[in-house]
Chains A and B, each alone.
Chain A
Amino acid sequence: MDYIGKYPNKLGRFGDFGGIFAPEILMPALNELNEAYEKYINDPEFQNEFYNILKYYSGRPTPLYFASRLSEYIGCKVYLKREDLNHGGAHKINNVIGQALLAKKMGKKKLIAETGAGQHGFATAIAGAYFGMETKVFMGEVDIVRQSYNVYRMQLLGAEVIPVKSGSKTLKDAINEGLRYWIANVHDTHYLMGSVVGPHPYPMLVREFQRVIGKEIKQQILELENKLPNAIIACIGGGSNAIGAFYDFINEDNVKLIGVEAGGEGKNTNKHSIALGLGRRGVLHGAMQYLLQNEYGNILETHSISAGLDYPGVGPEHCYLSKINRLIVGDATDNETLNAFKKLSELEGIIPALESSHAIAYLIKNKDTFEKDDIIVINLSGSGSKDLSIVSDYIKFKINPKEIL
């Protein structure tokens, strides 16, 4: 299909999704950001500076690794795009370097960000330190407790972590609080949105900074296999790693794009984050999107074992791609995810983030649907080091430091 470069339109629309549903007080700042984006995104000097930071500071390009033991277990050829090997341990660095560089060009002095799993907050703290910008990270109290490792890391880098006590005390509320702070401090502060969500131009801007993932996959798989993959699988919360991996393949009709949402305790419970699969369209955080909401339009509390996917909405471009049937939507439960987390660790010596483990869980549970010669790329969006304290509550370890003394 002919897709790339067509979306969003001037109003930030991907079909019926997206848009700019923001308070008037933020509109001038969003317009200013959009203008800066238009000015710099095709500027070779900016692109060069951006990519050089990713190359020398973060270690791009990340490897596309043929996972031979996993391939044997699944029964087809499985490649892992090693975004976990980025500086900071996740794909989030691509977006924060891009946005912080743009903010710097715009003359902004401070960065604020929301975070769920802490990966985006940590990445923003890295960018804050790298560019010498004062950084505040809004994080729900529930997430602070379940992602303590990242809370320490952010503070070590000099960022201020601001606990959010409102609502469900998770990612959605961290975004609310971040936006409120931005409303009052928009003159010198850039809101560094962590995913392809929020009002226009964020979904477009974050996608453009994450596209590097898919561009590399394309080049690498052609070098390794001399053909495109049959499918790319990525987890979707807001959806930044997924759109980054998918975007440059959207025009390639023979490449299946599979997004895996957080199934939590199961589709039939109300404890999940399956916004694409089970949501209804509505407006949250500035964009029209599929949302988990009640009949009155109030947002429901969601659940996932992975804080990074625990969000009631999903990026507007994914909504559109799903509506036009270009994106295949699946989900994986907490239990399936934990099994995948263990399986990849044992088979490949790679501990995946719980978020990324959803993509692996999908591959495992659908392994009979793939042919022997199929080439599947999994976007391994992050490392699981941050998740060990959660996982140790679920997985039975022979020696558990928590139980000694």
Chain B
Amino acid sequence: MTYQNRLFKLLNSRKAEEKYFMPFFVAGDPNLDSFKEIVKIVEPYADIIEIGIPFSDPIADGPTIQEGNVRAFKAGINTIKALEAIKELRVFTEKPFIILTYYNILIQGSETIEQSIDITFENLKNSGIDGMVIADLPIEEAELVLNACEKYDLALIFLVAPSTTEERLEKIIKKARGFIYLISVMGVTGARESVDQITKDNIARIKKKTNKDLPVFVGFGISKPEHVKIIIDAGADGIIIGSAIVDIIKNNLNNFPSMKDKLVDFHLKIRNSIKERM
């Protein structure tokens, strides 16, 4: 089967030992032009690029991503501008784009929820987006989104947490496409110092239930090459890093060339640590 969707195309042709790196950026952080430039310079080191569409009340995010959202809002970001920026970036790369956002951002634009989702998803598709993670949309509420994803050939990536029961896990796996996004810890997003045993146990638990067609990516808390090694060795197929990257942006706001150097350096280190385990 041949796929138009870049994420499906990438994952469909994968070998079992293949490992992926998906860095995360907040659209418009620290401003739109810098954001676009950052994505372009780190693109060679990433397999998939995850982009946050800012929401005013991100309950699943820790202080780092919240501050990234605030910086982006202060610099004038909104959903339309974020999608335009992604469309511009699409010209430079064929790597899959996944957006991360909250449900309320996707249900604007029309009287009914169905129509709003339809309008939004057509926009997502036209902007060159391949899939999405919706932080506050559990499987119970996902029907409308799943239908629209089918219509526009987009992937709805489901989150799985350490607290997810076996029964829920099975339901989620049945509906999931692309990959499973495993939240490594019980908590919100944010860089952490070490990898918990709970992370390793959960990778094993979920890998046991999934097959080659549904790789498991791990995110939340990963900040160092050492973490990458432990998580890959535990059986994960992909690594998602957000807060550690947004922290680099935050810590170098006054020096853009240095910010870019540090971002490239960080991506290179992560890339290499993934390569070593393949």
List residues of chain A with CB under 8 Å of any chain B CB.
11, 16, 19-29, 166-167, 172-173, 176, 179-180, 183-187, 281-286, 291, 293, 295-299
Q: Are B57 and A28 in contact (CB under 8 A)?
A: no
Name the A residues within 8 Å of B115 (CB-CB).
Answer: none
Q: How does the 8 Å CB contact mask read for B22-39 relative to A, with 1 for contact and 0 for none?
A: 000000000000000000
Q: How does the 8 Å CB contact mask read for B145-172 relative to A, with 1 for contact and 0 for none?
A: 0000000000000111111110010001
Contact among A21, A28, A166 for B136, CB-based, below 8 A: A21
Contact among B57, B108, B113 for A299, CB-based, below 8 A: B57
List residues of chain B with CB under 8 Å of any chain A CB.
54-63, 66, 73, 78-80, 102-108, 113, 135-138, 140-141, 158-165, 168, 172, 183, 186-188
Name the A residues within 8 Å of B183 (CB-CB).
Answer: 24-25
Q: Are B136 and A286 in contact (CB under 8 A)?
A: yes
Q: Are A186 and B186 in contact (CB under 8 A)?
A: yes
Complex CA distance for A187 and B161, rounded to whole angstroms: 13
Q: Are A296 and B59 in contact (CB under 8 A)?
A: no
- Which chain A residue lies CB-closest to B61? A180
Complex CA distance for A11 and B143, rounded to whole angstroms: 13
Contact among B59, B61, B168 for A27, CB-based, below 8 A: B168
- Which chain B residue lies CB-closest to A29? B163
Closest 10 CB pairs of A and B: A25-B161, A298-B56, A184-B187, A297-B104, A24-B159, A283-B104, A297-B108, A299-B56, A23-B60, A179-B59
Extra contacts besides A20-B140, A25-B186, A166-B63 (18): CB < 8 Å = A20-B138, A21-B137, A22-B136, A25-B60, A25-B161, A25-B164, A25-B183, A28-B164, A28-B165, A28-B168, A166-B66, A176-B59, A183-B188, A184-B187, A282-B104, A283-B103, A284-B104, A296-B78
Name the B residues within 8 Å of A176 (CB-CB).
Answer: 57-59
Name the A residues within 8 Å of B60 (CB-CB).
Answer: 23, 25, 180, 183
- Which chain A residue lies CB-closest to B53? A296
Q: What is the interface of chain B mostly: helix, strand, loop, or mixed?
A: loop
Complex CA distance for A293 and B136, rounded to whole angstroms: 18
Complex CA distance for A234 and B190, rounded to whole angstroms: 42
Q: Are B161 and A24 in contact (CB under 8 A)?
A: yes
Complex CA distance for A298 and B183, rounded to whole angstroms: 25
Q: Are B136 and A283 in contact (CB under 8 A)?
A: yes
Name the B residues within 8 Å of A23 (CB-CB).
Answer: 59-60, 135-136, 138, 159, 161
Contact among B55, B59, B80, B107 for A285, CB-based, below 8 A: B59
Please list 8 pairs of residues, one from A and one from B, whose beta carbons are closer than 8 Å in the complex, sorted by A's number. A25-B164, A25-B183, A27-B140, A28-B164, A183-B59, A183-B188, A296-B108, A297-B79
Complex CA distance for A23 and B163, rounded to whole angstroms: 11
Contact among A27, A172, A183, A295 for B138, CB-based, below 8 A: A27
Complex CA distance for A341 and B181, rounded to whole angstroms: 53
Q: Are A297 and B163 in contact (CB under 8 A)?
A: no
- Which chain B residue lies CB-closest to A166? B66
Name the B residues within 8 Å of A11 (CB-CB).
Answer: 140-141
Chain A nearest CB from B118 CB (Å) reads 16
* Residue from B62, B137, B158, B163 whose CB has the most chain A CB atoms within 10 Å: B163
Complex CA distance for A179 and B160, rounded to whole angstroms: 18
* Residue from A183, A185, A187, A282 whose CB has the most chain B CB atoms within 10 Å: A183
Name the A residues within 8 Å of B62 (CB-CB).
Answer: 180
Name the A residues within 8 Å of B165 (CB-CB).
Answer: 28
Q: Are B163 and A28 in contact (CB under 8 A)?
A: yes
Name the B residues within 8 Å of A173 (CB-CB).
Answer: 57
Chain B nearest CB from A72 CB (Å) reads 47
Q: Are A297 and B107 in contact (CB under 8 A)?
A: yes
Q: Are A180 and B104 in contact (CB under 8 A)?
A: no
Complex CA distance for A176 and B135, rounded to whole angstroms: 14
Name the A residues within 8 Å of B102 (CB-CB).
Answer: 283
Complex CA distance for A16 and B141, rounded to whole angstroms: 12
Q: Are A25 and B163 in contact (CB under 8 A)?
A: yes
Chain A nearest CB from B170 CB (Å) reads 14
Name the B residues within 8 Å of A299 (CB-CB).
Answer: 56-57
Q: Are B138 and A24 in contact (CB under 8 A)?
A: yes
Name the A residues within 8 Å of B162 (CB-CB).
Answer: 25
Complex CA distance for A28 and B163, rounded to whole angstroms: 7
Complex CA distance for A140 and B149, rounded to whole angstroms: 38
- Which chain B residue lies CB-closest to A177? B59
Chain A nearest CB from B204 CB (Å) reads 19
Q: A28-B165, A183-B187 are in contact. Are A167 and B57 (CB under 8 A)?
A: yes
Complex CA distance for A176 and B140, rounded to whole angstroms: 22
Q: A20-B138, A293-B104, A296-B78 are in contact. Are A184 and B186 (CB under 8 A)?
A: yes
* Residue from A19, A23, A25, A295 whose CB has the most chain B CB atoms within 10 Å: A25
Complex CA distance for A313 and B57, rounded to whole angstroms: 13
